[in-house]
């Protein structure tokens, strides 16, 4: 299978040739639509090598999603600042002006974000009942009925969009169990993403879902196999173009290996329970977030 960096750089090159279009951030984008990324986990852990991607930061974020965290401070205390610019729009309404941006930065409540939707899904907030723990159901199904074809988790909830720090970009995922040539159960994961910040967000999305695939496979005693992302609006912001050109000039390197270093359950495991080896990336490239 084609090296993940090669797939990624080919995607960036294609985007840079696309016409520019406007969007809600007031920063123009070059954009294409309906693309995909596919990786065989046997080829290594898909942490891009053509720029340094901070593994610890994405591991903290994923742990927060699994543990149902919606406090910005909880992420910041672990030196993860991915969510700094956002907050619950019920607390501070979204805006472009500097005063609003400052208030958004200062507000701790992230609202009904990814982790909450996965662990406390309220299909109808008007109903007086407990939410549905989609992730727990998925894990239990993997263990008890692994060939079920309905193992899907959704993050987009139309009834709660007004409480989300940002409407979910990667809004659903499905896991599928198949058998390899030796008859062993292998776990595959595919995710759907409506909006793709290719330079800043996509490297994190790829590695985060790869880590989730590994965690689920370990929990169910399976082998992680194919990871695939189906990408909707795939774009490069105008203020990322120079960095994008720098990155596509670089050569891909060998992918690292990632090991989960203890026998804790997926619910108890921490971001420190990982060991990354053989990661020798090119230097990082600074990309400013578009708010």
Task: Give the Cβ contact number of residue 199 at 10 Å.
Answer: 22
62 CA to centre of own chain: 8
State the Cα–Cα distance between residues 262 and 11, nearest whole angstrom: 36
Contact 85, 289 (CB under 8 A): yes
State the Cα–Cα distance between residues 62 and 191, nearest whole angstrom: 15
State the Cα–Cα distance between residues 291 and 14, nearest whole angstrom: 24
Contact 199, 12 (CB under 8 A): yes
Q: Minimal CA–CA distance to 56: which of 283, 273, 227?
A: 273
Verify whether residue 169 is a known catalytic residue.
Answer: yes
Task: Give the Cβ contact number of residue 253 at 10 Å.
Answer: 16
- Among 34, 80, 87, 169, which one carries the catalytic annotation? 169
Give catalytic residues, as residue numbers.
Answer: 169
């Amino acid at each position: 299978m084609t090296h993940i960096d090669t797939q990624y750089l080919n995607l960036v090159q294609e985007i840079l040739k696309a016409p520019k279009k406007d969007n809600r951030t007031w920063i123009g984008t070059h954009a294409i639509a309906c693309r995909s990324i596919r990786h065989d986990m046997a080829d290594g852990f898909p942490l891009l090598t053509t720029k340094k991607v901070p593994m610890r930061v994405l591991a903290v974020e994923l742990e927060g999603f699994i543990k149902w965290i919606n406090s910005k401070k909880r992420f910041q205390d672990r030196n993860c600042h991915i969510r700094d610019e956002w907050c619950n729009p019920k607390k501070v309404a979204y805006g472009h002006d500097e005063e609003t941006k400052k208030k958004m930065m200062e507000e701790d409540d992230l609202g009904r974000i990814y982790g909450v939707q996965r662990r406390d899904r309220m299909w109808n907030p008007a109903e007086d009942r407990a939410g549905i723990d989609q992730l727990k159901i998925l894990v239990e199904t993997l263990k008890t009925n692994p060939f079920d074809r309905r193992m899907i988790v959704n993050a987009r909830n139309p009834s709660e969009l007004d409480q989300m720090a940002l409407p979910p970009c990667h809004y659903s995922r499905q896991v599928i169990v198949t058998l390899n040539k030796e008859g062993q159960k292998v776990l595959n994961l595919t995710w759907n993403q409506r909006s793709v910040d290719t330079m800043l967000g996509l490297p994190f999305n790829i590695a985060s879902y790869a880590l989730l695939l590994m965690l689920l496979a370990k929990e169910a005693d399976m082998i992680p196999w194919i990871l695939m992302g189906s990408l909707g609006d795939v774009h490069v912001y105008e203020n990322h173009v120079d960095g994008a050109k720098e990155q596509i000039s670089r050569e891909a390197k060998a992918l690292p290996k990632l090991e989960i270093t203890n026998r804790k359950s997926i619910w108890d495991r921490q971001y420190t329970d990982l060991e990354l080896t053989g990661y020798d990336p090119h230097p990082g490239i600074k990309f400013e977030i578009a708010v």
